[in-house]
Amino acid sequence: MGSGSSPCASCKLLRRRCAKDCIFAPYFPPDDPHKFAIVHKVFGASNVSKMLQELPVHQRGDAVSSLVYEANARMRDPVYGCVGAISYLQNQVSQLQMQLAVAQAEILCIQMQQEPELPTTHPSMVDYDAKTLLLSGSNTNDFGDQIPQFLSYTSNNNVIQDPLKRESLWT
C-alpha cells in the first residue's frame, strides 16, 4: 500500500486490493484519483503497468508525469493530443516572430524618416566612382551625370515607404 492503510488511486478505481509492492502506489496517491482515472481511460491500466515495469525506478516518476500530460491532452484533442498543443504553440511563435519583424521594420522606417537624407553607397562603389570622376578630368558634365545615381539609391526594398499603408502593431 502506498500511504498508510488507504489503497492507491489505481487500486481504488480498479476495485482491487493494493499490495505492498503495487507498481502504481508511488505515482498515483489515493488523494488524487482523477490522475489515474484519466491515464487509465486513455492508455489502460495494463499498458501503463507494462510501461512502468520496463523502466528503471528512477525514470518512472517522469514517465507517469508524461502519461498524465498526454492523457489530458488526448482528452482535449483525441486526434493530435499534445502534438496539437505543440503545433499550436509553434504557430503562435511564428506569428509573434513575424509581428516582431514588422515592428522592427516600422522602427527602422521611422528612424530613416527622422535622419537627414544622406546618399549611401557601397564603399567600393564610392572608390570606383570617385576614381572615374578624377580620371575623367574636371568635366562638369560627367559629374552631373553621376549625381542622380547617388540620389536614387535605396537601401532596403522591404521597408514600407508609404506611411498611410502601414498599420501599427499597438493599435
pLDDT at 161: 44
Q: Please, what is the end-to-end C-alpha distance for the chain in angstroms?
A: 60
- Identify which has the larger pLDDT, 69 or 154: 69
pTM of the model: 0.55
pLDDT at 6: 85
Domain boundary among 114, 130, 164: 114
- Identify which has the larger pLDDT, 77 or 118: 77
Residues 18, 58, single domain; the answer is: yes
How does the average pLDDT of the chain come out, rounded? 77
Residues 49, 20, single domain; the answer is: yes
Give the three-state DSSP class for 133.
helix
Q: Confirm if 142 and 136 have CB atoms less than 8 A apart.
A: yes
Domain boundary among 21, 50, 76: 76
Mean pLDDT of 4-27: 89
Residues 40, 86, single domain; the answer is: no
Mean pLDDT of 42-46: 94
For residues 2 and 85, give the distance between their C-alpha atoms in angstroms, rounded to a whole number: 33
Residue 59 lies in a domain: yes
Q: 30 pLDDT band (50/70/90 cuts)?
A: very high
- Identify which has the larger pLDDT, 109 or 145: 109
Q: Confirm if 137 and 131 have CB atoms less than 8 A apart.
A: no
Residues 61, 85, single domain; the answer is: no
Domain boundary among 56, 76, 96: 76
- Identify which has the larger pLDDT, 122 or 73: 73
pLDDT digits (tens, 9 = 90+) for 131-153: 554 455 544 444 444 444 444 44
Helix axes 57-76, 82-114, angle to 10 degrees: 80
pLDDT digits (tens, 9 = 90+) for 52-67: 999 999 999 999 999 9
Any alpha helices (H) in 57-122, and if so which ranges?
57-76, 82-114
- Identify which has the larger pLDDT, 121 or 46: 46
Tell whether the model's pLDDT for residue 45 goes beyond 60: yes
Residue 43 lies in a domain: yes
Mean pLDDT of 108-113: 92
Residue 165 lies in a domain: no
Structural domain including 104 reads 80-114
Residues 57, 27, single domain; the answer is: yes
Q: How many domains does the chain have?
A: 2
Residue 133 lies in a domain: no
Mean pLDDT of 121-126: 54
